[in-house]
Amino acid sequence: MPDPILDNLKELTRFRTDLVDEKATMMIHLRESLGILFPEFDKVFRQLDSSASLAVLTAFPSPECLIRAGEDEVTKILSLASPHRMGRGMASRIIEGAKDTVGVAQKQPAIGIKISILAKKIASLQATIRELDKQITVVYNSLPNKLQGFPCGKATSLAAIISEIGDIHRFATLKKFLSHLGWCPQSFQTGGYHMEHPRMSHAGNKHVRRLIWMLSIHAIKNVPRYRLYFITRVKEGKAKMHILIAIGRKLLSVLYTMLKKGTSYDPNWEEVGHLAAAGH
């Protein structure tokens, strides 16, 4: 029988993945619609799914609506929605873009309605995901073995990975653990031929694979030891994709050790392990 905490975490984290995917699909539709009706809007807001951007699009979903509303009304919406209190300057930029837009005016009523609905649904989804994150964190914190000090990742991503792995003790070795997750080369042989550089296996848990890819990219950007490793390997002429795979393997190795031994993260674990293996 699966652990009840892990079982609940799996249910919640997979539901979260569905919501995130749904939001991503809606964002694609929103960008497409703005590209037709008001392409300049995407240049004013760096983050299209920010609370201020979505509030403006919900209230004034077309260039015509923005111009008719005027700076005062747009400023009011921005001030209420923005955590940084965007003001009249931003409102002025949006309205100027609306006046000079190269969007297709003929489709303004229909696509404007579509933009307003999409913006409202995306904002609602984001609020739901934030609430779900809190619930996942509560369940995650009830685990006896917390991944204290893990190099990267929030509670939500770590909770998803741990819940998908299940009981770590069913994997006798790191190799079997990596193989189960599909983070290993695929075996390919025909007759006497062996593929010299096999590709990554497509087997394994797809939820964990996607999260490890994301954590590997995050580690390169935010964890000095992994960023240095990436830069060094790039200078040596290694393919960036192969380096990402190697970093993912390192992260999974750390995870396996922490779960298996019930210990916190030791940033020098690799060096210590290598020294021990060399007999120093």
The answer to whether residue 277 scores a pLDDT higher than 90 is no
Give long-range contacts, CB 8 A cutoff, 24+ apart: 222-229: 222/152, 223/151, 223/152, 225/151, 225/267, 226/151, 226/250
> For the chain, what are the domain ranges?
4-140, 146-278
- The answer to whether the CB of 105 falls within 8 A of the CB of 36 is no
User: Which architecture characterizes domain 4-140 according to CATH?
Assistant: Orthogonal Bundle (1.10)
- The per-residue pLDDT for range 119-128, each reduced to its tens digit, is 999 999 999 9
Percentage of the chain with pLDDT > 90?
54
SS3 134: helix
Residue-wise over 116-146: b if at least 16 C-beta within 10 A, else e?
bbbbbbbbebbeebeebbeebeebbeebeeb
The answer to whether residue 83 scores a pLDDT higher than 50 is yes
SS3 189: strand
- The per-residue pLDDT for range 209-263, each reduced to its tens digit, is 889 999 999 999 999 999 999 999 999 999 999 999 999 999 999 999 888 888 8
Counting Cβ atoms within 10 Å, is residue 179 exposed (0-12), middle (13-18) or buried (19+)? middle
**How far apart are alpha carbons 13 and 8 in whole angstroms?**
9
**How far apart are alpha carbons 183 and 208 in whole angstroms?**
10
* Residue 232, token pair as written in the block: 């060094």
The answer to whether residue 85 scores a pLDDT higher than 50 is yes
